[in-house]
Structure 1
Amino acid sequence: MGLPDGKPQAEDPGDTPPRDLVIDLARFFCLLLVVVSHTMMVSPVLHPDGTVTSENTLGNQDWFEPVIWIFMVMPLFFVAGGITGLQSWRRLRNRGGTGVEFAQARLLRLIRPAAALLAVMFTGLWAALLLGVHSQVIQLLATGAGMPLWFLAAYLAAQLSIPVLARLHERSPWLTLGGLATLVVTVDCFRGVLPPLAYANMVFLWCAVQQLGFVIADGHVSKLSRSRLVAVIGLSNLLLAVLAGLGLYSGNMLVNLNPPNLTLLLLGISQAATLELFRSGLNSVASAAWVQKVLAVAGRRSMTVYLWHLPVLAAMSGLWLLTDFPKPPGGTAEWWWSRSVVLLGLITLLLPVLAVFGRLEDRPTASVHARRRPAAAVVTAAVVVFIPVTDAAFNGLTLGLLGGGAACFILAALLLGRVPARVPEEKGTGRSEPALPPPPFSANVEP
């Protein structure tokens, strides 16, 4: 996966390649930016009549739109997921694994942390409601804290499609990418006539962006010269500017995020090319010993941080309203200075959350003698998971849906059981060794 200069390399099907440190660094940057930006967006307001509303202070700034154009990193996360997902699937397939086993591992890695989150949120908000907290506040907290779940649904859909899309990619990589892009544009063309159709791009768009990661993983982008990479970056952003300038799409990338549209694919192309353009320098930064230690810790607990940071931030903001601490109006100089305190408090509160729930990200691996789950159980688990997240995407997250979602996710985890560990025979020795890397697992060396 990574040579000393950070370029992709061919791998022996029987080997577990080293981590691509550049991808670890890119994922850490994405996660850090998302957490920091959310501390600048969540701004609850207590009105004189006792009602509470939430303002997106960062989104209301005049300078926000061009900045979010640059720092909308969600496409980059899916590009990274495409790179690591394709390599993980190929390693599993080369050891005799199946698409069902791949889906089982991916589902468990994501839904175990989410199940705990939904259960705790439901219990906590229900207790708050019984203690007399206004139902409006409960709904506001549920809606805001549940925002990360849209990502979980989109990422799961993209990851579960990897075995099929990988086969199409191996036959015709550019035709597959072009076909997905065509589906994205088609949905965009008809979304005005049939608005619910726009949500189909939660699958088509993110699968197309993920496919860019496939192209990088196979070394197609690394073959381009620096001048051509700069040209790709410039042309994709120029086309994006033209589409926004003509009024076909919004120039605000948060508006374009849910449901997603073609603008995010263009951003993904730009970000994929930028990643390769600066890969050598990024690899030098990521190779520093202290950076690797940070990336190793963050990579093992990234999903827990992503899922929990908004609920913790929402709870902290709600409790702040009940205290006598100063509450400067959003957007004032005092409010901006207070963000550093909010970020410090968020990090402090996340530490015990990581200690309690972080281990749920470790993939539960059964003994080699464990029976594999039947395909029907894995498919049923996937359907059970997508029922509540689809409902939340169309109708919003409610307290009742939190409880139902927690039950569905726990049921799915029970259906999936544990991932069977493959122990292939080592060539020429007659010995066997585990095919899965020992814990702690890296985000990009699994399964």
Structure 2
Amino acid sequence: MQQPASGEAAAAAPERDLVIDLARFFCLALVVVGHTMMVSPVLHPDGTVSSQNTLGEQRWFEPVVWVLQVMPLFFVAGGVTGLHSWRRLRSAGGNAIEFVQGRLLRLIRPAAVLLAAMFIGLWAARLSGVDPQVIQLLASGAGMPLWFLAAYLAAQLNLPWLSALHDRAPWLTLAALVSLVVAVDCARGALAWLAYANMVFLWCAVQQLGFFVADRRMPGIGPSGLLGLVAASNLLLGLLVLLRLYSGNMLVNLNPPNLPLFLLAVSQAASLQLLRPVLVRLAARALVRRLLAGAGRHSLTVYLWHLPLLAGISGLILLSGLPQPAGGTAAWWWTRPLVLLGVVGLLLPVLAVFGRLEQRPTSTDPSRARPAVAVVTAAVVVFIPVADAALNGLTVGLLGGGAVCFALAVLLLGRVPARGSSHSGPGGSGLALPHPPLSANVEP
């Protein structure tokens, strides 16, 4: 139960875990549906415009979001997929720079196009006479998914050395990361800006839980032990809330993130393993497998684009002058399925045009690796607009600047060498890059 898995053993492990596929699909669907229940632009009598988080303001929703806050599960799954991908690449002769290069390209290519499209669309709207308040509201709301991209990138780019620490001292590494999270939470009252350090510490700690799942440590605990983990993590979380050390609203705890999200991650990771036998049978169905394969190829595009499209629909409704029911009323709730259908309908052509950007471009020359300085520079360039947005908020100008920075980073990164492409086979060490169609949990 306690024996760490070696890199060689992990590389030989099955490449596709349908349970992780299913978990990520569930998380993505829940996020899309949840956001359609939240965004509600309001036009006030004095002409000002604001955005109302209707669902978040419902008192009954606070205990519900305790259960449905699935962002920690996203990062647990990212730890599973990232660790498998890193070990496969390493076994094929790759290094940490190539891993970082691939992760950056996979994530920022779709994001660069999104930022450029948002900048052009909002700037055109501004030139056509749309109120600047509406433009700013759309920019800030539509750009919300970018915080996840920044946090996920920060965790994944640290994965190679965190994996090395995990192989040597898994529990000590996890304890050190959690200690850093607690230290930041304790100091954030005096230094408010320090809270953003947990965008790295917290999500790296949650990602580390995914390493335990990937190494099959949690299944070895047994059903009673997993139930104990679920109960203990939730009881501790409840105690922290009762002592008023943290908010009971997990939306409040999300940005900047804090310790309750790690406790939720423990509960969700243990629950996932506890339900694994049932989920395996469900995910093995042919229809579900096809659904997961399709979703896996386009999951990042769906995540990045669904909120800008939702903001666009809300803005058009606001500008149309159509009567709008007050947020939270029965009439407002009846409009939500229509809004969801509108978002899904707009996502289909977006996926057709931009979905292919998720498939990481590879070079036919296995030796064509980028210099380390180019990859590190690209990472710095990407985080410049991200840090600005986190500290000062997202504006139309920053969307344009971010698109330029992301495009420059893509040019710096070039194409990823196809490690192991000439040596793969049924008995080989495996590809660093699986052939399409890509699985949701076998990321390039």
Post-superposition Cα deviations, 1:330-378, rounded to whole Å, max 9, x if no partner, equal: 1111110110000001100111111111111011011125621000000
Structure 1: tracts of 5 or more residues without a match: 1-7
- Paired residue for 1:124, among 114, 117, 121? 121
Shift of the 76–9 alpha-carbon distance from structure 1 to 2, 3 Å rule, reads farther
2:375 is aligned with 1:374: no
The SS at the match of 1:44 is strand
Alignment partner for residue 64 of structure 2, among 61, 67, 71?
A: 67
What RMSD, in angstroms, separates the aligned Cα atoms of the two structures?
2.1
1:328 is matched with which residue? 325
How far apart in 1 are the matches of 2:325 and 2:14? 51
Q: Which residue of 2 aligns with 1:105?
A: 102
Aligned residues: 440
2:223 alignment partner in structure 1: 226
CA contact (8 A) 1:368 1:423 kept: no
Displacement, 1:432?
A: 11
Matches of 1:428 and 1:414, distance apart in 2: 32
Q: Relative to structure 1, is the Cα distance of residues 425 and 12 closer, same or farther in structure 2, using a 3 angstrom cutoff?
A: farther
CA distance in 2, matches of 1:277, 1:303: 27
Distance in 2 separating the partners of 1:235 and 1:326: 48
Partner of 2:199: 202
Map Cα deviations across residues 72-94 of structure 1 (whole Å, 9 max, x no partner). 00000000000111111011101
Shift in Å, 1:321: 1.7
1:20 matched to 2:27? The reply is no
> 2:165 touches 2:173 (CA, 8 Å); kept in 1?
yes
Whether contact under 8 Å (1:76, 1:272) holds in the other structure is yes
Secondary structure of the 2:130 match is coil
Task: Give the CA deviation at 1:323.
Answer: 2.6
Match of 1:3 in 2: none
Q: Which runs of 4+ in 1 moved over 4 A?
A: 8-16, 424-435
Aligned match of 2:183 in 181, 186, 191?
Answer: 186
**Shift of residue 225, structure 1, vs aligned partner:** 1.6
Between the aligned partners of 2:429 and 2:34, the Cα distance in structure 1 is 47
Q: Please state how far the C-alpha of 1:10 moved relative to its aligned partner.
A: 9.5
Kindly indicate whether the alpha-carbon contact (under 8 Å) linking 2:142 and 2:308 is maintained by their aligned counterparts in 1.
yes
| AA of the residue aligned to 2:274 | L
Contact 2:11 2:84 in 1 (8 A): no
Q: 1:176 aligns with which of 161, 173, 178?
A: 173
After superposition, what is the alpha-carbon deviation per residue over 1:416-443, rounded to whole angstroms, capped at 9, x for unaligned?
0111112366499999996532112223
TM-score (norm 2): 0.95
**Which range moves more in the overlay, 433-442 or 11-20?**
11-20
2: CA distance between counterparts of 1:62 and 1:432? 53
What is the SS of the residue equivalent to 1:55? strand
Alignment of 1:424-443 (within 5 A): 426=423, 436-443=433-440
Deviation at 1:146, TM superposition (A): 0.5
Distance 1:191 1:121 in 2: 33
Is this contact kept in 1: 2:76–2:210, CA < 8 A?
A: yes
- CA distance in structure 2 between the partners assigned to 1:247 and 1:120 by the alignment: 43
What is the SS of the residue equivalent to 1:48? coil
Q: Distance in 2 between matches of 1:137 and 1:64?
A: 28
Is 1:383 aligned with 2:352? no
* 1:144-186 Cα deviation digits (max 9, x unpaired): 0000111000000000111000000000000000000000000
Q: Report if the CA contact (8 A) 2:174-2:208 is conserved.
A: yes
Contact 1:16 1:437 in 2 (8 A): no
What per-residue deviation string (whole Å, max 9, x for no partner) do you get for residues 304-323 of structure 1? 00000010000011101233
- Is the 8 Å Cα contact of residues 11 and 17 (structure 1) preserved in structure 2? no
Correspondence 1:343-382 to 2 at 5 A = 343-368=340-365, 371-382=368-379
Residue 243 of structure 1 aligns with an amino acid whose one-letter code is L
Residue 312 of structure 1 corresponds to 309
Is residue 150 of structure 2 the alignment partner of residue 153 of structure 1? Answer: yes
Distance 1:254 1:239 in 2: 18
SS at the partner of 1:43?
strand
**2:254 alignment counterpart:** 257
Q: Which amino acid aligns with 1:105?
A: G
Distance 1:431 1:147 in 2: 42
Q: Which amino acid in structure 2 is aligned with residue 378 of structure 1?
A: V
Q: Which runs of 5+ in 2 are unaligned?
A: none
| TM-superposition CA deviations, 1:221-266 (whole Å, max 9, x none) | 1111211111110010000000011000000000000000000000
Please give the alpha-carbon distance, in whole angstroms, between the structure 2 residues aligned to 1:221 and 1:282: 16
